[in-house]
Homo-oligomer: A and B are copies of this chain.
Amino acid sequence: MGKLANLSCLGCLKRSEIFNSLIESELEMIDCHRVSVNYSAGEILFKQGTPCYNFTCITSGMVKLYIEHDDHHKTIVGLVRPVDYIFVPGAYVDQRHHFTAVACEPTTACLIDTHIFRDLVRLNPQFANDFITKLSNQAIALLDRISGFSHKHIFGRMAETLLYLANHIYKSNIFDLTLSRQDLADLSDMTKESAIRVLKKFKDDGIIRLESNHIEIINTTMLESVSRTG
């Protein structure tokens, strides 16, 4: 557990902004029903199909969320970085996880009982409102995902993935990837061989700099253009 997050939710500097509307007593409710856990890279936080008891708030590290198809295929539907919590749609539907969450790096997370969320939605209208906004954003992200997958070629899809990583995950055009080539492929709906070939093409074309896991986007305009035109 990170030093900044260990005492109580009330003074926590690693608190997701979803909790901003909560009053002191409500934060205490959460505080009484949470645990903080450390995960090593590669460890599963929860697995698709299992019952869901918690909302998971990532306080350090990074987590990948993926849908498992058959044995060897998966699709990464999102990456979660601090400070954000993992949206668990099953909590309000069938009490099952609809995707698997795995740590990509050493990660710490606060687990909060789903019942507390339900209670807070009832108690605090502003919290309910913020929560709906969050769910809506996730739905839009999924729609964008579907939009990107259909009728776009591998170059366009990988370009989209790189822009997503730069703009939303690492928040810089230079970053050290903590994802494998397979992960990049699972994010872009292609095989790892194709992912490798596309990255090489981008490198040869001078769109990115690439040395093992160090990536630098040199020509953002070009990458955006590729992402659009496919």
- A interface, CB within 8 angstroms of B: 67, 69-70, 73, 75, 77, 87, 89-93, 98-99, 118, 121-123, 125-126, 128-129, 131-133, 135-140, 142-143, 145-147, 149-152, 189
Contact = CB atoms under 8 A, between A and B. Distances in A.
Given A77-B143, A136-B92, A189 B87 contact: no
Contacts of A151: 69-70, 73, 75
Given A67-B146, A77-B143, A125-B125, 15 more contacts: A67-B147, A69-B151, A70-B151, A75-B147, A77-B146, A89-B135, A89-B137, A90-B136, A91-B136, A132-B132, A132-B135, A135-B136, A138-B139, A146-B146, A146-B149
A21 to B, nearest CB: 12
Contacts of A67: 143, 146-147, 150
* Residue with the greatest number of chain B CB neighbours at <10 A, chosen from A67, A140, A189: A140
B132 A139 contact: no
A25 to B, nearest CB: 17
B125 A92 contact: no
A138 B87 CA distance: 13
Contact of A125 (B75, B89, B121, B149): B121
A135 B88 CA distance: 11
